[in-house]
Chain A
């Protein structure tokens, strides 16, 4: 792997660098504009330059002081945490069953699990909406969490990792009298660390960024998530762009920070998942 597989000629290289730079600028310039605007005083909001000449925290002050943004953050954070923990627990147990045992019906059940990957929310929204209405779950965390507990791609990914794990170690543990659950907990899971970390982050980002489902089942401000809150700002305080961009900055910050912690693995897991935010 010493040399590059293909070495484009110089003119091509220059042309591609220009294209890539332009594409990167199309990503970075709007981001700089958003973050810059979040720190701009009111009289600079309409300036073309992204940099505030007199940076201020006033936008953040209004965001937290005059809106319920803190509550939205709490709703997003708490539901993301609860949902991802439950999704992981469910996926780990199922993946272990698929990886460890071959039993009557396992192929069919695995096919059904994979099949669910191609069913987007919009295909099941009507019956679940009716269900949630009957349960009286509108505007609750339960409506955000419970219909989304099964994560087929997480099961698939963990099963792949578990199947590459040496069976002898699990068999040895069971010969020593450990039950399958102990073997899973004490031997399998500690060895899945990096995969689990990346999966946790991808599931969390997916949940934090979600729009369609919360929009369907949440109406009152009390249960609003960050994403719903940002949309409301665009509709309600259409004038206060400083506070809006402060909200946009804060809503994106956790995702970007977490990403830079485990960059490479997260990109790999995203590729495996087919989730695209």
Chain B
């Protein structure tokens, strides 16, 4: 945004890129956007900050009681928060090899195939289109101990099989794998977009100098792709915390023994399972701060390194 302002200022005042406008007209065009943006995004954020300071159980008649920072202390000291923090870390750590590192060589390979890689790309993209509800329901069906196909396949192979969703470790692994399956092709596509912007003449030049594929990959493509890699990393970290809400809710509801809950599911549990609005709001504010830090980090790094402007 600062970029466009600077450009507009640098140009001669006659026939500037965008005419300066004094008056109400632009605001008329913006009003339909601003109304829902204020009502359903920015005001609720402030309201949540206020609610995090009171005790309330969502009963309309019930008076709210100001309790200061007690809700924050309550959240931070709870075992639910400890479990959610641990699991959130597991989700993110597991995401890095599965969703950030593995799609990269696959994308480079599809890129090397050129047009012929299109079929792979399209098929790998399909999970992005299918709703997480359906993915979770189908996984739940296939892992079903009575009728599931995974169960049947393994018993056909002579292996005993317990429903992985019944144990904390098995459940979180299941959710990690299905969310990796869901986002893999999308991340391949992000890498392909980054690869497409690499100038071919640089590669040709290196090749003329006798560089091997491996040297080109390591010395040219990897560094030029690093903004994309970083972008994929940040997007995946947020994705791995937020989007797994759906499979958690459908398959495990955060259990067994809080084994699959994470920050996003925790705030939902606090607010709408235990109806402790104050703690739910306090958890939400903490989560907001976490996302803010991640986003600011992303902006700082991307500002320095990415030149996506078309």
Interface residues of A (CB under 8 A from B): 1, 4-9, 13, 16, 19-20, 23-24, 26-28, 30-31, 33-34, 45-46, 48, 89-91, 93-94, 96-97, 99-104, 106-107, 109-114, 116, 118-120, 122-130, 133, 146-150, 152, 155, 160, 164, 167, 180, 205, 208-212, 215-216, 227, 230-231, 233-234, 241, 244-245, 248, 251-252, 255-256, 259, 263, 267-268, 270-271, 274, 276-277
Q: Is the Cβ of A6 less than 8 Å from the Cβ of B19?
A: no
- The main secondary structure of chain B at its interface with chain A is helix
Q: Identify the closest chain B residue to A255 (Cβ).
A: B129
With A90-B33, A102-B19, A270-B186 known to touch, is A125 a contact of B246 (CB < 8 Å)? no
B193 at the A/B interface (Cβ < 8 Å)? yes
Given A8-B112, A16-B106, A28-B123, verify A126-B189 contact (CB < 8 Å).
no
Residues of B with Cβ closer than 8 Å to A?
A: 1-2, 5, 8, 16-23, 25-27, 29-30, 32-34, 36-37, 40-45, 47-48, 51, 58, 60, 105-106, 108-114, 120-134, 137-138, 140-142, 147, 149, 152-153, 156, 181-186, 189-190, 193, 198, 200, 203, 213, 216-217, 221, 235, 239, 242-243, 245-246, 249-250, 264, 267-268, 271-272, 277, 280-281, 284, 287-288, 291-292, 295, 310
Using A97-B29, A122-B242, A124-B44 as known contacts, say yes or no to A107 and B130 having CB atoms under 8 A apart.
Answer: no
B132 touches A122 (CB 8 A): no
* 10 contacting pairs across A/B (C-beta < 8 A): A23-B124, A130-B58, A133-B60, A147-B40, A209-B129, A215-B249, A216-B272, A231-B137, A252-B131, A270-B189
Contact between chains at A124 and B132 (CB < 8 Å): no
Q: Which residues of A contact B134 (CB under 8 A)?
A: 227, 230, 248, 251-252
**B43 near A127 (CB under 8 angstroms)?**
yes
Residues of A contacting B272 in the complex (Cβ-Cβ under 8 angstroms)? 125, 129, 216
A276 to B135, CA, bound (A): 13
Complex: how many Å from CA A4 to CA B48? 53
**CB within 8 Å for A126 and B51 given contacts A216-B272, A276-B183:** yes
Complex-state Cα separation, A28 to B127, whole angstroms? 10
Known contacts A6-B213, A94-B32: A150-B37 contact under CB 8 Å = yes
Counted as pairs of residues, one from A and one from B, with CB atoms less than 8 Å apart, the total is: 269
Min Cβ gap A257→B in Å is 10
Selected from A102, A211, A268, the residue in CB contact (under 8 A) with B21 is: A102
Q: A interface, by DSSP: helix, strand, loop or mixed?
A: helix
Q: A277, B132: Cβ atoms under 8 Å?
A: yes
Bound CA–CA A241/B143 (angstroms): 13
Asked if B36 contacts A123 (CB within 8 A), the reply is no
Assess whether A116 is in contact with B37, with CB atoms less than 8 Å apart: yes
Report the separation of the CA atoms of residues A252 and B27 in the bound assembly, to the nearest whole angstrom: 40
- Check if A209 sits within 8 Å of B124, measured CB to CB: no
In the complex the two chains form, is B33's CB within 8 Å of A113's CB?
A: yes
Tell me the nearest residue of chain A to B103, going by C-beta: A23
The 4 tightest CB contacts between A and B, nearest first, are A209-B131, A97-B29, A127-B44, A124-B44
Q: Are A259 and B129 in contact (CB under 8 A)?
A: yes
Are A103 and B20 interface neighbours, CB within 8 A? yes
Say yes or no: B36 contacts A6, CB within 8 Å.
no
* Minimal beta-carbon separation of A240 from chain B (angstroms): 11
Tell me whether B41 and A124 are in contact (CB under 8 A).
Answer: yes
- Please determine whether B36 and A147 come into contact, CB atoms closer than 8 angstroms: yes
**B-side contacts of A33, CB under 8 Å:** 142, 149
Q: Kindly state the separation between the CA atoms of A113 and B42 in the bound complex, as whole angstroms.
A: 10
Q: Are A244 and B137 in contact (CB under 8 A)?
A: yes
